[in-house]
Each structure stands twice: as C-alpha cells, then as structure tokens.
A and B are shown apart, each in its own frame.
Chain A
Amino acid sequence: MGVSMFAYYLELAFRSLRRSRALTALMILAVALGIGASMTTLTVLHVLSGDPLPERSGSIYMPRMDPRDLSHAEDTKLPVQVTWIDGMRLLKDRRADRQALMVGGTVPVQSDDQAMDPFIEHARYTTADFFPMFAVPFRYGQPWSDAEDESRAHVAVIGADLNDRLFGGTNSVGRTIRANGADLRIIGVLDVWRPVPHFYDIYTGSFSGSEGVFVPLSTARALEMGRDGGISCWGEGSTAENEMERASCTWLQYWVQLDSAAHLEAYRRYLDGYAHEQAALGRFQRPQHPEVIGLLAFLEEQKVVPSDVRLQVWLALGFFVVCLVNTVGLMLAKFMRRAGEVGVRRALGASRRSVFAQLLTEAGLIGVAGGVGGLILAWAGLALVRRQPDAFARLAHLDLAMLVATLLLSVIATLIAGLLPAWRACSITPALQLKSQ
C-alpha cells in the first residue's frame, strides 16, 4: 500500500467518522476510558515494581541465615535481618567486595544556629560501605570511612532535602547538626537519592523516601539514638534497648556487593561455613540452609508491591476489555451500515484487501484518538493518585516509555477490535448489496 493510497484511506476514514459523530465519539470515549484506566494503574505498578538500583542491582545481595531457637519451628522462612553478633562478625570478616550493616531510626534534629525549632527526621545508622555500595550520589563532601566507624566519630551525612531545609541548599560540609542532643559534624551532603522501593529496609516503609540523616552505626549506638523498624526476638533474656547488642533478636539489615559469579560462589561457601560453625557451637539451634539472595529476587519474594495495586491493574484491564468489546460492537454496526457503500466500491473493482485496509485505517484512527484521550485521562488519573496519602503515591508519573506504550497499546487494541467488523463488512457479496438497493 503506497503512501498516497494510505492518505486516501485516511481521508475516507475521516469523512466516515465525521458522518456519524455520536457513534465515533462513543467509540473514542470507550477506548480512551479503557486506556486511561489501564495506563494509570500500570504506571503505578511500573513505578512500584521498578529496580531501585538500575545499574547496581545485579551485584547486590542479602546474606541470610537462621539464628533462631526451636520455638515456632514451623516458621522456616529465613529472617530478612540479622542479630548484632552475626552482623558485626560478617562485617569484620570482610568477605564480600563491599558490605554494610544498618538499621533505621528517627531523631529530633536542629541546625547549628538553633534558630529553628527541632523537628523529627528519619535517620539511618550504617557503616562506611553503604554509600559506595549503593552508588549513593554526593553533592558536597564525601562519605565517612572505616576509621570513623571504628572511632565512633561524631560525623553525619545529610540528605538533599534536609540540607535545603536546614542550610538553604548551600554547601554545609563542616557545619554541625544537632541530632538527639549531640553535635555531629557534617562531612557529606547527598544529591537527590530516592531508591524505589526502599529495598534495604522494608520494615520502615517499602516506599518511604530515603533518610535525611546518615550516622555511623557505632556512633548512633553510643549516642543512644532512637531505633525503628522490624525486630524479631526469641528465647529468654532482656530485649531492652541497651542490651540489644547481646539480645537474641534480629534487628539489623546486612547487605553485600559481590562483583562476579566466582565471588558469589565463594561468599555462599563462606556463609555456609559460618552458619554451620555457629550451629556446631550451639548458638544456632535449627538446621542451617543459609542463602545469599539477589536484590531483585528479594523484592519479588517480599511482595513489596501492595496487593491493592495489583488488584487495581486487573480491574483496569478487565474494564479495558469491556470497552474494547463495546468498540467491536459499535464498529460492527458502523461498518455494516455502510454495506451499500462497500458493495459499490467492490463492484467498481476495489479488491477485498483494499476495502479491508481502508476499514482498518478507520479503526486505527479511532485508536490514535482514543490513545490521545487515554493519555489525557491517565495524566489526570495519576494527578489524582498523587493526591493519595500512600507513600508511593507521589512517585506516580508518566515516563516516556509509558507514554509511547499507551499510544501503541491503544492503536494495536483498536486494530484488533476492528478485525472482525472489517472482515464482516468486506466479505459482503457486492452483487447482493447492489440488488437489494
């Protein structure tokens, strides 16, 4: 089919669509509603099931073992956190390319000029490798080093938002921040960093943003900064805050970077050895099957995407199918109404193929219009989603990939919807049509 032929079909399609405005509007509206609903929900799903570290996720792993005793033995799912004893041991052994131990918390913070009332900020207490391992971008300064971890130095790295709020976005390296009553020297300011989902600690909200203050874990423990997040204990013994370093509780997250399959294999062997050694010592009572799980596999296992979001996607797709069935019906009516015209064209020598192509052009045109309408509706729908209070809601934006996908989906879907009506219309015997007139 040549370009001029296509232009001709397009013109015919326009003319035909104009002839029955109500029907055309109804078809376009149905496609637009279906597309708009589907793309809104799919965009939310797309954002939520994204890769938090697109360039890194392949080499980030979580080592897991089972330090629990035999009570509740029916729960064999490996914990996603570690005890202080195991976390420190793995950290000190340094068997991965990079490793970090961490826990979340909240602290009241104030800037050094103290003019501002204190406010609560989310904090992360971690070790030096956290920043290079997760490729956290810095705007000013740099992360702390192992030496600062060792010496419990009073230093902090702060996030971009907190830097804007406290220091008006200027380079605040060297200034101090008062956190939980202690003065910490700022040594680094992050650029905007928002890993979605918040993979390294799913207990502090899977879609909450990244923290505002980062403090060396050792410093935070020494300064008794408030700790948050999941904690799971067993056996006897105190679970008091100042006993947490000895408690039989998992409450810290531990992540490692392993740059090659060989390193991964070596690390697996090391972890296996460690777990069995602890079992032999009697510290671990359960049969040990430790595991080194990749970041994306971990997110999959933890089902971080809320089930309501998945339900909404299915609902929207069902809705889209009804809209499409509706469009097929209307197109059938529209094309069959023009049986006479088709008969004349066929009798004048138009091949069945060219009639078919022309009718499909008309369907495609509806698809384009429906797609544009769908985009507008999806854009409006996402604006509504962003007004929802859920932590993930304000991440919902249409990106270029989803935009193109929307238009493509709309055109392809309506072309498929047009197949049956177009085929029915062009299989009319020309003679019969002409005779009945």
Chain B
Amino acid sequence: MQILPILAALRRHKAGTILIALQIALTLAIVCNALFIVHERVERANRPTGMNESNLIAVQNRYVGAPSTYLPIIRTDIQAIRAMPGVEDAYVTNTYPLRRGGWSLTARTAPDATKGGAQTALYFGDEHTLKTLGVQLIAGRNFTASEVGSFERQESPSPPQVIVTKTLADKLFPNGDALGKVIYYRGGKPSTIIGIVAKLTVPWIDMDFMDSVTIMPLTFNDGGQSFMIRTKPGQQDAVFKSVPKVLFDVNRMRVLPEKYGIRTFETVRANAYEADRGMAILMSVVCGVLLAITAAGIVGLSSFWVGQRRKQIGVRRALGAKRSDILSYFMTENFLIALAGVVVGTMLALGLSQWMFTHFEMKRLSFTYVMVGVVALLGLGQAAVFAPALRASRVSPVEATRSV
C-alpha cells in the first residue's frame, strides 16, 4: 500500500491534518467518558430493591389536627385500604425503598459495645409487610399479628422480634448463624432475629449500607405515615384512582401532598433517579452531536483537499492509476490521520477519566469503552471521507491537461 507517499503529501497539509486528528482525539476523549457516564447512570437507575415492584402503590399521608393518639385512625385507614376491591395486601410504614428519607441507626451484638456493629435503615411494618413488598424470606419466619406493637416518638425502637436483610445478618454474624440471635439497637432493649430476607434496600439512593435493613413489627404513633399497597394484577390503575376517595371518605382530616401523595412504584423509582436519567440523556445527546460535528468537519476538509488536488489526481489517472487507487488513497489518508487521532485520544480519554476520578468521585473508565470509541471514530472517519473520496475517484484524466 502507498503509505509513504501519503505521509509525504500530508506533510504539505500539516495544519489541516493536525486539526482533524485533534478533533478526533478530543471527540474520542469526551465521547467514551460520556458514554461511560451514561452506562453508569443507567445501571444505577436500574438497581434492584429486592422487591417485586410491579402492582405496587405508595401513599404518603399526613393527618391534620392533634389527637391524643393516631393509632386508631391508622388502623381504620389500613383496614379500609385492605378491603378495597383489587387490593391484594397493604401495610403502613414510616418509609420504603427509594423514598429518599428515613431513619437509620446502629445495630450491635452486645448491649454495652461502643464500637463495631452495623448501620441499618429502619422500616416499620407488620405481618403483611413481606407479602406487600414481595420480598423473599430465605430463613426463619414472618411476624405474627400479635407481635405487632406501637412505637412512640420518645422511645428507642427495639421490638422483641425483628426481620433483617441477609447483608445485615452477615455483617453482624459473619459465620452465617444470625437466625435466632439477639441484637441491640442503639439505646434499646434486646431484639431477636426471627427472619432473614434475601434483599431489601434502604430508602436512600446513595449510602454505603445500601442492603442493610431491619423490618420492625411496629406502628409509629405519628401524623405522617406511608401506606404501601399491592394490587391484584391489572388492578393497579383502578386502585390508584380510588385510593384518595376511600381515604377521604374514612376521614377528611388529612393531607395527601399534591406531588408525592400517591405514586405507583414505577413513579417512585423514576422520581428517585430523575437526575441520573437526565444526566444520561444529556450525555447521549452530547455524544451524538459531537460525532455529527466531527463527521461534518472531516467531510468539509476532505472535500477541500479533493478540490485542491484535482490536477494531481488527473495526472495520476493519466499515468495509469485506477479509480480504486484514488479512492483507496483518500480512504487510507483519512485512516492514518484518524489513527493518529485515536492514539492521542486514548491518552486524553484516560487522562480525563483520571481527572474525573479525582474531582467528581467517579469510577475509572473501563478499557472496553475506549476500544468501542476507537472503533467508532475510525469507522466514522471512513464513512465521512467516503463521499469526497468517491468524488475524487471520478476526476477524469483529462483534468491533467486543463490549466485551472
């Protein structure tokens, strides 16, 4: 192949060559990092909660007025919800996964320990919780109705029985024998682990103890409550529409916030990861536009080069070069420039990734993304140069004899 003459010719177009290579390099650096961010955000937004998220509705309720106790109203409400047609099961809680607000405290294996232990999120619930959320009990048993108690604001939550996630169980008891063991929540009485669930995530989306959760058989005597409702398949829309009426018919003294009052769990998830989704879309758009601009730039400069060299092309054709020779000349030329670009671009991409790693606490770019970017840009260059190169190959040998 005619690489040496191409290199020789390129030396006469230094500025243009460097500009195209530079553009390819910068595009590669930005595109593969941006795509990596897209990948990360999409992965984050799809992280499982350990629940069966379909046919699940979350209601945020705030009672108005100051009764001496909220417990009877809460009980009436949840009974009314369970009695609705289309409702499979329901329970009342303080918070749930992806709600982005809740309680956490430390659980320890000894009452007087001041160090160690594990941070855990708290979900209040009852014997309906596991079924409503659709989480999988892998050891032990569910709560019974008689174990469900109430909890006052000034107490430290510590019921005699708790269900914990496997992650929390393993953290507290690394030997895997957590079932039946007694643990202590900060400031509280002993609690026995009666059940272990496979997975359930904390209410927040950024925590270093994502899967460390305790379910307590308690009802919080408070004006703010969340109702979780599992509907029968196909009944979600109907239940969604009739829940406010059912609740207001029971008791008008309540507020269901306009925005987050009643949400399907798909909405809960979408709300929780809205920022990540926005970032992913933005990055994808930027990548698309960048690639288009780079392609347009290559077309522009290559067309100019073809126009500038019509006479030389004519001479080569007159001296016996075939059309395919001219075509491959321009294709090879572009390939060489793009190759230089992606070599520089790979280094830039890794540098950029390192910089983002230190400044934005992001993961380091995986090399697959660089390779995909390299292939994409080499391909893009070839595709962009094809039309101008084809035009060059059609230059007639007669051009050699024309003066302008």
Partner of A322, one of B253, B275, B290: B290
A318 in contact with B297 (CB, 8 Å): no
For residue A160, give the distance in angstroms from its CB to the closest CB of chain B. Answer: 19
A322 in contact with B26 (CB, 8 Å): yes
Residues of B within 8 A of A315 (CB): 30, 34, 283, 286
Q: How far is the CA of A386 from the CA of B322 in the complex (A)?
A: 58
Given A26-B300, A310-B360, residue A328 in contact with residue B19 (CB < 8 A): yes
A326 at the interface (CB under 8 A from B): yes
For residue B388, give the distance in angstroms from its CB to the closest CB of chain A. Answer: 11
Residues of A within 8 A of B296 (CB): 26, 30, 326
Q: How far is the CA of A293 from the CA of B36 in the complex (A)?
A: 39
Partner of A390, one of B16, B62, B223, B275: B275
A10 at the interface (CB under 8 A from B): no
Q: How far is the CA of A437 from the CA of B402 in the complex (A)?
A: 11
Partner of A329, one of B19, B289, B307, B403: B19
B187 in contact with A325 (CB, 8 Å): no
Residues of B within 8 A of A326 (CB): 23, 293-294, 296-297
Given A26-B300, A120-B257, residue A180 in contact with residue B66 (CB < 8 A): yes
Partner of B26, one of A110, A321, A337, A388: A321
Smallest Cβ-Cβ distance to A26: which chain B residue: B296
A118 at the interface (CB under 8 A from B): yes
Interface residues of B in 166-218 (CB under 8 A from A): 187
B255 in contact with A311 (CB, 8 Å): no
A181 at the interface (CB under 8 A from B): yes
Smallest Cβ-Cβ distance to A182: which chain B residue: B66
B20, B304, B361, most chain A CB atoms within 10 A: B304
B300 in contact with A23 (CB, 8 Å): yes
B147 at the interface (CB under 8 A from A): no
Interface residues of B in 362-404 (CB under 8 A from A): 403-404
Residues of B within 8 A of A395 (CB): none
For residue B18, give the distance in angstroms from its CB to the closest CB of chain A. Answer: 9
Q: How far is the CA of A180 from the CA of B64 in the complex (A)?
A: 7
Residues of A within 8 A of B356 (CB): 311
A424 at the interface (CB under 8 A from B): yes
Q: How far is the CA of A308 from the CA of B64 in the complex (A)?
A: 38
A338-366 to B contact mask, C-beta < 8 Å, 1/0: 00000000000000000000000000000
Q: Is the interface of B mostly helix, strand, loop or mixed?
A: helix
B293 in contact with A30 (CB, 8 Å): yes
Interface residues of B in 10-27 (CB under 8 A from A): 15-16, 19-20, 22-23, 26-27
Q: How far is the CA of A276 from the CA of B153 in the complex (A)?
A: 34
A240 in contact with B65 (CB, 8 Å): no
A329 in contact with B300 (CB, 8 Å): yes
A173-200 to B contact mask, C-beta < 8 Å, 1/0: 0000000110000000000000000000
A388 in contact with B255 (CB, 8 Å): no
Residues of B within 8 A of A74 (CB): none
B155 at the interface (CB under 8 A from A): yes
Residues of B within 8 A of A119 (CB): 255, 257-258
Residues of B within 8 A of A311 (CB): 37, 356, 360
B154 at the interface (CB under 8 A from A): yes
Given A321-B26, A389-B271, residue A108 in contact with residue B290 (CB < 8 A): no
Residues of B within 8 A of A108 (CB): 62, 64, 255
B404 in contact with A437 (CB, 8 Å): yes
Q: How far is the CA of A292 from the CA of B300 in the complex (A)?
A: 59
Given A33-B289, A325-B23, A390-B275, residue A333 in contact with residue B304 (CB < 8 A): yes
Residues of A within 8 A of B153 (CB): 240-242
A53 at the interface (CB under 8 A from B): no
Residues of B within 8 A of A241 (CB): 153-154
B22 in contact with A325 (CB, 8 Å): yes
Residues of B within 8 A of A76 (CB): none
A118 in contact with B64 (CB, 8 Å): yes
B282 at the interface (CB under 8 A from A): yes
Given A71-B114, A311-B356, A332-B16, residue A240 in contact with residue B155 (CB < 8 A): yes
Residues of A within 8 A of B283 (CB): 315
Number of residues on chain A facing chain B (CB within 8 A): 53
B65 in contact with A307 (CB, 8 Å): no
B66 in contact with A325 (CB, 8 Å): no
A319 at the interface (CB under 8 A from B): yes
B237 at the interface (CB under 8 A from A): no
B303-343 to A contact mask, C-beta < 8 Å, 1/0: 11101100000000000000000000000000000000000
B34-74 to A contact mask, C-beta < 8 Å, 1/0: 10010000000000000000000000001011100000000
Q: How far is the CA of A240 from the CA of B151 in the complex (A)?
A: 12
Q: How far is the CA of A344 from the CA of B307 in the complex (A)?
A: 20
B301 at the interface (CB under 8 A from A): yes
Q: How far is the CA of A217 from the CA of B334 in the complex (A)?
A: 72
Q: How far is the CA of A310 from the CA of B46 in the complex (A)?
A: 24
B65 in contact with A323 (CB, 8 Å): no
Residues of A within 8 A of B253 (CB): 118
A330 in contact with B300 (CB, 8 Å): yes
Partner of B30, one of A30, A306, A318: A318
A319 in contact with B30 (CB, 8 Å): yes
Q: How far is the CA of A239 from the CA of B66 in the complex (A)?
A: 21
B278 at the interface (CB under 8 A from A): yes
B266 at the interface (CB under 8 A from A): no
For residue A241, give the distance in angstroms from its CB to the closest CB of chain B. Answer: 5
Given A108-B64, A329-B297, residue A308 in contact with residue B275 (CB < 8 A): yes
Smallest Cβ-Cβ distance to A307: which chain B residue: B360
Q: How far is the CA of A323 from the CA of B294 in the complex (A)?
A: 8
Residues of B within 8 A of A30 (CB): 293, 296-297
Residues of A within 8 A of B360 (CB): 307, 310-311
For residue B26, give the distance in angstroms from its CB to the closest CB of chain A. Answer: 5
A55 at the interface (CB under 8 A from B): no
Residues of B within 8 A of A110 (CB): 64
Smallest Cβ-Cβ distance to A224: which chain B residue: B66
For residue B248, give the distance in angstroms from its CB to the closest CB of chain A. Answer: 9
B350 at the interface (CB under 8 A from A): no
A240 in contact with B154 (CB, 8 Å): yes
A332 in contact with B294 (CB, 8 Å): no
Partner of B16, one of A23, A37, A333: A333
B148 at the interface (CB under 8 A from A): no
Residues of A within 8 A of B62 (CB): 108, 120
A389 in contact with B274 (CB, 8 Å): yes
Q: How far is the CA of A332 from the CA of B297 in the complex (A)?
A: 11
A93 at the interface (CB under 8 A from B): no
11 contacts between A and B (CB under 8 A): A23-B300, A238-B187, A311-B360, A321-B26, A325-B26, A326-B293, A326-B294, A328-B19, A332-B16, A333-B16, A388-B274
4 further A-B contacts with Cβ under 8 Å, apart from A181-B64, A306-B275, are A108-B64, A241-B154, A325-B22, A330-B300
Chain B contacts to A: CB under 8 angstroms: 15-16, 19-20, 22-23, 26-27, 29-30, 34, 37, 62, 64-66, 114, 153-156, 187, 223-224, 252-253, 255, 257-258, 271, 274-275, 278-279, 282-283, 286, 289-290, 293-294, 296-297, 300-301, 303-305, 307-308, 356, 360-361, 403-404
Chain A contacts to B: CB under 8 angstroms: 23, 26, 30, 33, 37, 71, 108, 110, 117-120, 180-181, 224, 226, 236, 238-243, 306-308, 310-312, 315-316, 318-319, 321-323, 325-326, 328-330, 332-334, 336-337, 388-390, 420-421, 424, 437
Give 9 nearest A-B pairs by CB, closest first.
A240-B154, A333-B304, A329-B19, A326-B297, A108-B64, A325-B23, A118-B64, A322-B26, A181-B66
